[in-house]
Amino acid sequence: MKKTYTVTFFTCGIIIAVVLAAVLSFHKSESKTLKVGFIYVGDASTSYTNNFIEVQNAIADKYGKQVKTIAMCNVAEGTEEEYLERLIDSGCELIIATSYNYGVTMKKLAEKYPDIEFCMATCSNANEEPRLENYHTFMGAIYQGRYTAGVAAGMKLQELIDNGTITKEQAKIGYVAAYPYAEVISGYTAFLLGVRSIVPDVVMSVRYTNNWNDYLIEKKYAKEFIDEGCVIISQHSDTTGPATACEATDSDTPVYIVSYNESMANVAPTTYLTGCKINWEPYVTGAVESVLKDKKIEENVKGNVVGNDMGAGFEEGWVEMLELNELVAAKGTKAKMQEVINGFKKGKIQVFQGDYIGVDPEDPKDTCNLKKGYIENENSSAPTFHYVLKDVITVEE
């Protein structure tokens, strides 16, 4: 009997110790304060940056005085080091940056300041040498959203064909793109392949603005696409220019806009169809929580981890569809989009596959045969597909 009492007493002691440790850890994380710095390439007037600002505000609301956030807006690429040093001097222990082109500077400063966590969106150099424990990269698998938006656009095109509004030969897309980066090429390719899953003969023209947010050029290019007979306009750019052009068109043939990062329902109520965006909240709030609890970010945030780089798609809420304009969308679009999203969640959709040959625009000898398939984001959260599909996509000057 004494032995039983001894074991019971010993077991209770262990339980009490574990509970006490958990309570102390909880109170430690609750009492710790954190200063988080954000460095933005734009400001709230651009949809990409505004999506980050909304997350920044949500963090401030959630944590109150425990977390203080500081933001540097409209930081031109190439000038970021000065602003990052300001955030460091102000006492930031976690810094979130949002432009791919900040990556080299961010990593250099991460090596200089090993006690600060640096998190770089849309970049892919975290696992390159030197690998640093305090430097991280992250991005949502946005090709999934692009493809799903393409399916919605394809259903609208098919409806127009079935109604006799346009012919199959008139099913053409115009795409206003920022730069000839893999991120942009991967996105517009996924969008086109989504459209072609419904209307197989669709072709697409692309024009680069060489700027993330230039309203006048984006509007101009969209208008030129409309004049060329494009029925669907989409974009990887940050202004309402393309949507404004679509809504103002006086073409006899209808035209519709598929947006990125923000809904264009208010700008183009009769021509906006749908769109998609990366939801930055799961990663950014997870990074804040990780630093508060002294945990490694990649072990505390749900996603696909490769070293110090991580990403995810619909399955973890890292990618979201924007509102669907059901006054404009073809019948059954909402259900079809949900079917596609569920397919991504179950890993059943392979986007970059088919009877296509892709050509590297920088090196025509570098080609990719999509009959074998190309797995996007396999080893990097940032997109790597950088091939322009022959005879299907035309890059216009």
* pLDDT tens, position by position, 137-151: 999 999 999 999 999
* pLDDT beyond 60 at 166: yes
Pair (219, 264) in one structural domain: yes
CA dist., res. 378 & res. 375, Å (int) = 6
Pair (148, 267) in one structural domain: yes
- Residue 333's Cβ-side half-sphere holds a number of Cα atoms within 13 Å equal to 27
Our count of domains for the chain comes to 2
pLDDT of res. 22 = 43
* pLDDT beyond 80 at 179: yes
Instruction: Establish if 5 belongs to a structural domain.
Output: no
pLDDT of res. 252 = 80
Instruction: Establish if 6 belongs to a structural domain.
Output: no
In terms of DSSP bridges, do strands 309-312 and 135-140 run parallel, antiparallel, or are they unpaired?
parallel
pLDDT of res. 23 = 37
Instruction: Establish if 93 belongs to a structural domain.
Output: yes
pLDDT band for position 8 (cuts 50, 70, 90)? low
Q: What percent of the chain has pLDDT above 90?
A: 90
CA dist., res. 389 & res. 362, Å (int) = 14
Q: Which amino acid is at 131?
A: R
**Token couple for 88:** 């460091």
* pLDDT tens, position by position, 306-330: 999 999 999 999 999 999 999 999 9
Residues spanned by the domain of 287: 32-139+280-311
pLDDT of res. 16 = 45
Q: What percent of the chain has pLDDT above 70?
A: 92
CATH code, 173: 3.40.50.2300
Instruction: Establish if 284 belongs to a structural domain.
Output: yes
Question: Cα 74 from chain centroid?
Answer: 19
Of the chain, the end-to-end C-alpha distance in Å amounts to 90
pLDDT band for position 261 (cuts 50, 70, 90)? very high
